[in-house]
Structure 1
Amino acid sequence: MPLSAAAILADSAERWPESPAVLYGAESVSYRELWRSARQYAAVLREHGIEAGHKVALLLPNAPEFPAAYFGVLALGAVVVPVNTLLKSSEIEHVLRDSDAKALVCAAPLLAEGVGSAEAAEVPVLALFPRGAVPRDGGESDIPRLDELAARAEPIDRHVPCDPADIALILYTSGTTGHAKGAMLTHLNVVMNVDTTMLSPFDVQPHDRILGCLPLHHSFGQMCTMNTCFRAGACLVLMEGFDAEEALEIMEKQRCTVFMGVPTMYSALLTAVELVERRPQLDRAFSGGSALPVTTLGQFQATFGCRIYEGYGLTETSPVVAYNQKAWPCRPGTVGRPIWGVEVEIARSEVEDAVELLPAGEFGEIVVRGHNVMAGYLNQPEATAEAVVDGWFRSGDLGVKDAEGYLTILDRKKDLVLHGGFNVYPREVEEVLTRHPAIAQVAVIGLPHEIYGEVVCAVVIPRPGVPTGPELAREIIAWSKEHLAVFKCPRSVEFVTSFPTGPSGKVLKRELLKSVRRVG
């Protein structure tokens, strides 16, 4: 039976043709208009030789052109390869070469990085210019413009039918441990994850307005925000980039009902709301990407009067694995229960060539199987074999699952701090430290130590107006000794104004470790 992820938009364009699909500044794009634009883009791509199965890379920011190009590629039965807009030329070149991209659709502001990488990889470029923008000197005028060509093109009639096992997306991991790997997601992966999560946990309805502040090139923003929104016929209120004060203003003005974000965004909103005193009337909020401190969750719910549902997912799992959901009591500190059709268990982390499941309540590595698990890593059979063992995807995350099926994430296996033979889980320490009145955000890392192997270091973003220095560091260390076992207490405290983050807003602890070592 044929199945295409393009139907996510196509079906809603039939059901709610005049409803707004995207709000972007003063611009409103209906479902009819968005699907027509997608089919016009598809027509132009077809004229440029793109066929079913070809890979098309998208280097586009959060704007209406992203979903138009995304669904235009899918409509041809081709494969979408979203590219992180923060990447530099050599990194983009790796994605283009590794994916064997047949074209790069690039936004005009990103042509400086995109064109050089595309030329090096011998990939043709189609440019997308914002309304009213004109090419600058330097060869931009010679690049075919997808927007101009699409405006004159006759849209394709309908999307190309695909097999459920055909690849729809190649999503590249952040590559913090080396070159980014391309996770291959099938049409079945995409459609099942979107259909399942639209119903629960997200419960998206046609009347909802969802703030689209997460980057659309990332799985959280793309799948959970954009695709579930379009599947339900709701409205996506797009922001090109996240700014807390602007987000509060937009959510209030556009009457947003749903917010989806990562923990750093929730912390920023709590700080901003004290400055601008804007309280959007949200119905619900969803957190993912990394662990949300329980104190932040409580403060947000008290400030904004809406519940936060925390969940868990990975690029390789399309992405959602588990979430707190309306059907069951929410349990702060957990990521809820597995979504429909997905199994989650805990396995012995030290056994790598097999999956040995553990009983409820025991700590180990989180393993996943179900409709959401990727088809594999592109061009990397060995990495695929390491990740998918005995039919289970090995997440690399450590956690525990209780007798009622609630999942608690402790940490990444590689983020674990080994202090004198004791396992220290950074999240546990972070949860405690966020209760300190001077700390706005904290990330815990392990520093090498000649006696203990590793010791805990707390990297702290202080609350506004709090003076930093050795005295505050000593106070935090002394305070932690009252609340934590001695081997879990930070031996040092570093103060920063911001954390290095990945495309989804997740704190990059390996980059943080490098900067702390330079400071030290």
Structure 2
Amino acid sequence: MLNLSTFLEDSALRHGKRPAYTCHGKTYTFFSINEEANKLANALVTIGIRPGDKIAISCPNLVQFPIVYYGVLKAGGVVVPLSILLKKNEIAYQLKDSDSKVYFCFQGNEEFPMGKYGWEAFREVNDCEHFFMVMPEPQNTLPIDDIQTLSWLVHNQSPSYESIPTKAEDIAVIIYTSGTTGSPKGAELTHANLFLNALLSANSILGLHTNDVQLITLPLFHILAMTVQMNTCIFKGAHCILVPRFDPEKVLELIGEYGVSIFVGVPTMYWALLDYLRNRPEKQPGEHKLRLCISGGASLPVKVLQDFEELFNVLILEGYGMSEGSPVVTFNHRQIGRKPGSVGTPIWGVEVKVVDQEGNEVPTGEKGELWYRGHNVMKGYYGLKEETERILTNGWLHSGDIAIKDDDGFFYIVDRIKDMIIRGGKNVYPREIEETMIRHEAISQVSVVGVPCERLGQEIKAFVVLKNGKTVTGEAIIKWTKEKIAAYKYPREIEFVKTLPLNASGKILKKELRR
């Protein structure tokens, strides 16, 4: 028997009075979080929820997210976290596709009307039986315009609950991902998947201990924040500072105010922090308690890594993962050592190899698709047997990423297969071009994509964000880049933009740039 909610129950017992979460200046202890999760579990049983039922939630980084998350798990349910950026039709699709019985949705505001979209979507899905609005102030227990609230649901419920004993192979979370291709698919992650990934992340990667403080600005519905931050801190009894929206100034302020020791981000966050400080000499980081930074979600440009480490005098460890892998697959382990630019070596219990189109392992140093298998691999895509069989071969999950393994066993992600550009029959990897261009003195950020070309099939185009106060022509950038990489690789088109399109977790949306 194994239930991921054991993390919370154990920490409530061992570290009950210690701070678990701080959000908007208010701090909640492990004991109080566990009691609130118990109330929710009791409420779910009261409205007829049974083990295995799916419960969806749309909520930013607020304390209500972990309360719902662990409350659902205690009741033997399956958590279905939805992106807070989804619109009505997208929400309705995922509610219906996941067979969700209950939907918790944050109210939002006029600028960001999550509650409005969620309520409209819920009303279109006949099999989703209950809707509860998550309010900014948890103590509000009255229905809003006849819509029941989370606080109303748990009002007067008992703070004690005996968790349902689930099996290790039972589904704990269904997290939606585009996978390697196609429409969003629900990756089924088991209690064992998430339990082991959090345990290994806490011990082998973060070296997490009770006195650590993590700042969580990645969205909790994203698998990286969920596993490597939320679950690890609950497991180890560490303190989390919840930030509902990433803002460089606010993040730097909170790092100092709360003595944050671990920061986890995606590459665009590290770039944004550097860009903010680059233009504000008076705001340079002074004394801080940061001892470790983690980067995931996409490849971190080496130049950004080096500049950040020098400025903050802190180590950044980069890793690789995906939703289907719970998420961590490889990492630059502190015990083994690291190589900047690489995603490290496999985590304990996971095998990784690089293969050709026939699934045969390629020689060291050659490019191929990264496959992996182990305790982290999802059970499958919910309700999609053929899609599951397509992506899994004898337990090996096909990542859709192009990688290289070096002589020391370190892996390097070259690019996504779907992002690779085929120009005149030659394979061109955008990341290689981006790593070169980011070193130009005037370039702050860059993203490279392939665009249709009648003569060559695809042509190379770069979208460039310039540093404040810097000016340069597209022709000059093309000439500069041409001198540093092979003739078939340099971009023929440059488009200057103020910002690059990002998703909710901070990844650059290349599909938006291709339009």
TM-score, normalisation: structure 2? 0.95
CA distance in structure 2 between the aligned counterparts of 1:481 and 1:28, rounded to whole angstroms: 54
Determine helix, strand or coil for the equivalent of 2:56.
strand
Q: Does 1:407 align with 2:411?
A: yes
CA distance in structure 2 between the aligned counterparts of 1:128 and 1:448, rounded to whole angstroms: 45
What letter is aligned with 1:131? E
Q: Does 1:338 align with 2:346?
A: yes
More deviation, 175-184/263-272 = 175-184
Give the alignment of 1:225-264 within 5 angstroms: 225-264=229-268
Give the alignment of 1:176-191 within 5 angstroms: 177-191=181-195
CA distance in structure 2 between the aligned counterparts of 1:512 and 1:140, rounded to whole angstroms: 40
Q: CA deviation at 1:174?
A: 4.3
Q: CA deviation at 1:148?
A: 3.0
Contact 1:135/1:141 (<8 A) preserved: no
CA distance in structure 2 between the aligned counterparts of 1:20 and 1:416, rounded to whole angstroms: 46
Q: CA deviation at 1:72?
A: 0.2
What letter is aligned with 2:330? A
Contact 2:297/2:321 (<8 A) preserved: yes
Equivalent position of 1:517 in the other structure: none
Contact 2:180/2:400 (<8 A) preserved: no
What letter is aligned with 2:496? F
CA distance in structure 2 between the aligned counterparts of 1:175 and 1:399, rounded to whole angstroms: 17
Deviation track 1:396-434 (CA, whole Å, cap 9, x = no partner) reads 000011232100000011111112222111111111101
Deviation track 1:317-368 (CA, whole Å, cap 9, x = no partner) reads 00000011111221001000111111110011x23xxx32223222100001
Contact 1:182/1:378 (<8 A) preserved: yes
Contact 1:174/1:502 (<8 A) preserved: no
Equivalent position of 2:474 in the other structure: 473
Deviation track 1:462-482 (CA, whole Å, cap 9, x = no partner) reads 111223xxx521111010011
CA distance in structure 1 between the aligned counterparts of 2:153 and 2:87, rounded to whole angstroms: 28
CA distance in structure 1 between the aligned counterparts of 2:182 and 2:141, rounded to whole angstroms: 36
Contact 1:174/1:503 (<8 A) preserved: no
Contact 2:213/2:261 (<8 A) preserved: yes
Q: CA deviation at 1:177?
A: 4.7
What letter is aligned with 2:284? E
Q: Which of 281, 284, 299 is the matching residue for 1:277? A: 284
CA distance in structure 2 between the aligned counterparts of 1:161 and 1:390, rounded to whole angstroms: 29
CA distance in structure 2 between the aligned counterparts of 1:17 and 1:448, rounded to whole angstroms: 59
Identity %: 40
Equivalent position of 2:510 in the other structure: 509
TM-score, normalisation: structure 1? 0.94
Q: Does 1:118 align with 2:122?
A: yes
Give the alignment of 1:185-204 within 5 angstroms: 185-204=189-208
CA distance in structure 1 between the aligned counterparts of 2:72 and 2:107, rounded to whole angstroms: 19
Give the alignment of 1:480-519 within 5 angstroms: 480-514=481-515
CA distance in structure 1 between the aligned counterparts of 2:370 and 2:138, rounded to whole angstroms: 49
Contact 1:42/1:156 (<8 A) preserved: no
Determine helix, strand or coil for the equivalent of 1:310.
strand
Deviation track 1:58-101 (CA, whole Å, cap 9, x = no partner) reads 11111001000000000011000001000001000011000000
Equivalent position of 1:360 in the other structure: 364
Q: 1:14 and 1:135, CA in 2 relative to 1: closer, same or farther beyond 3 A?
A: closer
In structure 1, the gaps of 5 or more residues are 515-520
Contact 1:388/1:394 (<8 A) preserved: yes
Contact 2:138/2:151 (<8 A) preserved: no
Equivalent position of 1:91 in the other structure: 90
What letter is aligned with 1:427? R
Determine helix, strand or coil for the equivalent of 2:488.
helix
Give the alignment of 1:203-218 within 5 angstroms: 203-218=207-222
Q: CA deviation at 1:149?
A: 3.4
Contact 2:141/2:149 (<8 A) preserved: no
Q: CA deviation at 1:255?
A: 0.7
Deviation track 1:142-166 (CA, whole Å, cap 9, x = no partner) reads 1222213324210342211111110
CA distance in structure 2 between the aligned counterparts of 1:135 and 1:175, rounded to whole angstroms: 39
Q: CA deviation at 1:198?
A: 0.9
Q: Does 1:76 align with 2:75?
A: yes
What letter is aligned with 1:396? G
Contact 1:24/1:63 (<8 A) preserved: yes
More deviation, 139-148/192-201 = 139-148
How many pairs are equivalent?
504
Equivalent position of 2:152 in the other structure: 148
Contact 1:42/1:155 (<8 A) preserved: no
CA distance in structure 1 between the aligned counterparts of 2:205 and 2:196, rounded to whole angstroms: 14
Q: 1:132 and 1:106, CA in 2 relative to 1: closer, same or farther beyond 3 A?
A: closer
Determine helix, strand or coil for the equivalent of 1:340.
coil
What letter is aligned with 1:505? G
Deviation track 1:437-466 (CA, whole Å, cap 9, x = no partner) reads 111111111122222222211111111122
Determine helix, strand or coil for the equivalent of 1:485.
coil
What letter is aligned with 1:226? M
Q: Which of 289, 299, 303 is the matching residue for 1:291? A: 299
Q: Does 1:328 align with 2:348?
A: no
Contact 2:139/2:151 (<8 A) preserved: no
Equivalent position of 2:111 in the other structure: none
Equivalent position of 1:435 in the other structure: 439
Q: Does 1:447 align with 2:451?
A: yes
Determine helix, strand or coil for the equivalent of 1:143.
coil
Determine helix, strand or coil for the equivalent of 2:13.
helix
Equivalent position of 2:56 in the other structure: 57
Q: CA deviation at 1:22?
A: 0.3
What letter is aligned with 2:514? L
CA distance in structure 1 between the aligned counterparts of 2:391 and 2:460, rounded to whole angstroms: 29
The CA RMSD measured in Å over matched residues stands at 1.6
Equivalent position of 1:314 in the other structure: 322
Q: Does 1:305 align with 2:307?
A: no
Determine helix, strand or coil for the equivalent of 2:397.
strand
Contact 2:446/2:465 (<8 A) preserved: yes
Contact 1:248/1:273 (<8 A) preserved: no
Q: CA deviation at 1:196?
A: 1.1
What letter is aligned with 2:386? E
What letter is aligned with 1:428? E
